Structure 1
Amino acid sequence: MDGFGRRLRATRTFAAERGWTLAASGADEGVLLDQLRGEPFHPPEAPPDAFPYPVPGRHRHRLSDVMRGAYRDRSAVVFAYTREQEILDDGFGRRGWEHSRHWIAALLDLPAPVPRLQVTPRTAMLPARPGVTIGDPRVDERFHVHTDDPAWAGGALRGLTPTLLDGPAWRISGTAILTWTWAGPAPGVPLDQVDAALERLAAIAGRLVPPA
């Protein structure tokens, strides 16, 4: 409990120094998660015959340490996100909530909408749906790219420097640019990484979205 109290006090101080608000939980989490539709908040549903057990049910979403404020004249939101999986049957008649996963997410509002674009570092795990290639090896060999407009995405990504491409996954959807990273076994926003994450989003947005 004392560790939780220290973390909360540090987060309050961090937010106050920037003139941001802090909410211990996301009162409007449904609205925010719907705005951010996609990974990791809305994982694709597994087909019924994907495995015999366990039988999954709903996902439960929780937001915490929700900080809101201005960053480089844009509206920013930073929060910790937890998703739990409901198990309807584990093969032994047991059921309940388990498999909690924790992420840290940050987003900036954009002045104008652009085509949907998601860039995710390649891992051994294949994405739920195939992406597109843009003809640039430094992108195609290292990232999964998902977009509604491959031609636009190709031009946009070729204009980004490797420094901006490297790092956690990011996505532009509508009028928001978002990044997220797995937080490990315990929730909580790593305060020493917030400014770097928002700065990277601002730099990407500055290359892709014309000012209003």
Structure 2
Amino acid sequence: MDGFARRLRATRAFAAERGWTFAASGREEDALLDQLRGEPFHLPERPPDAFPYPVLGRHRHRLSEVMRGAYRDRSAVVFAYTREREILDDGFGRRGRENSGHWVAALLDLPAPVPRLQVTPRTPAPPARPGVTIGDPRVDGRFHVHTDDPAWAGEALRDLATVLLDGPALAWRISGTGILTWAPARLTPGIPLDQVDVTLDRLATIAGRLVPLV
């Protein structure tokens, strides 16, 4: 409990130094989650005959340590996210909750809407749905790309290739007037404060390259 309290105090102080607001829990959860439609917040529905067995239940979403404020003259939100699944029936009489998933996310507003675009690092596990290739082997070999406008996305990501390949691979998505990034939480829960400015800088750089292309 002491560690949890220290983390909250540190995060609150971090937000105050920047003139941001801080909330220990997300009070505008439904509106924000709807804006963030997509993974990891909204999983694709599993078919009834999905392996290994159908699970009847529902997801619970919880936002915490929500910081809001201005960053480079744009509106930013940084928060921790927990997704729990309540099991009502798994076919074996099991009830209760599955292990929770934890992420840290950041959202930066855009000055103008752009086509929907999601870029996620490649992993051994295939994506839930097939993506597109953009014709740059450096990007195609490292990321999955999902978009509503492949021609626009190809132009945009080829221009962004050096940014995307500089440093750790970043998962991010643009929908409407927001650009979002998310990552699994570290073993130590909470927002890694030393990474907030670095992450928002990368989002701002990506956004700055994308918006003029529209």
TM-score range, shorter chain: over 0.9
Residue correspondence of structure 1 range 167-186 to structure 2 within 5 A: 167-184=169-186
User: In structure 2, what is the equivalent of residue 155 of structure 1?
Assistant: 155
Question: How far apart, CA to CA, are the structure 2 residues paired with 1:161 and 1:147?
Answer: 16
Extract structure 1 runs of 4+ deviating beyond 6 A: none
Q: 1:56-79 CA distances to partner (integer Å, 9 max, x unpaired)?
A: 421100000000000000000000
User: In structure 1, what is the equivalent of residue 14 of structure 2?
Assistant: 14
1:189 equivalenced with 2:187 (yes/no): no
User: In structure 1, what is the equivalent of residue 67 of structure 2?
Assistant: 67
Aligned AA for 1:4?
A: F
Cα shift at 1:85 = 1.3
1:37 equivalenced with 2:37 (yes/no): yes
Residues 186 and 94 from structure 1, CA distance in 2 versus in 1: closer, same or farther, beyond 3 angstroms?
Answer: farther
Residue correspondence of structure 1 range 58-207 to structure 2 within 5 A: 58-165=58-165, 166-184=168-186, 187-207=189-209
| Contact 2:117 2:147 (C-alpha < 8 Å) held by counterparts | yes
User: In structure 1, what is the equivalent of residue 28 of structure 2?
Assistant: 28
Cα shift at 1:94 = 2.0
Residue correspondence of structure 1 range 38-57 to structure 2 within 5 A: 38-53=38-53, 55-57=55-57
Q: What secondary structure, in the 3-state scheme, does the structure 2 residue paired with 1:84 have?
A: strand
Question: How far apart, CA to CA, are the structure 1 residues paired with 2:33 and 2:14?
Answer: 24
**Aligned residues: percent identity?**
81
Question: How far apart, CA to CA, are the structure 2 residues paired with 1:54 and 1:185?
Answer: 30
Cα shift at 1:139 = 1.1
TM-score computed with the length of structure 1 as normaliser? 0.95
| Contact 1:103 1:183 (C-alpha < 8 Å) held by counterparts | yes
Tell me how many residue pairs correspond in the alignment: 211
> Which ranges in structure 1 are unaligned for 5 or more consecutive residues?
none
Cα shift at 1:190 = 0.8
Question: How far apart, CA to CA, are the structure 2 residues paired with 1:184 and 1:99?
Answer: 15
Aligned AA for 1:175?
A: T
Aligned AA for 1:109?
A: D
Q: 1:163-195 CA distances to partner (integer Å, 9 max, x unpaired)?
A: 334522001100000000001455311111111
Q: What secondary structure, in the 3-state scheme, does the structure 1 residue paired with 2:99 have?
A: strand
Q: 1:100-140 CA distances to partner (integer Å, 9 max, x unpaired)?
A: 00000001000100000000000011111100011110111
> Which ranges in structure 2 are unaligned for 5 or more consecutive residues?
none
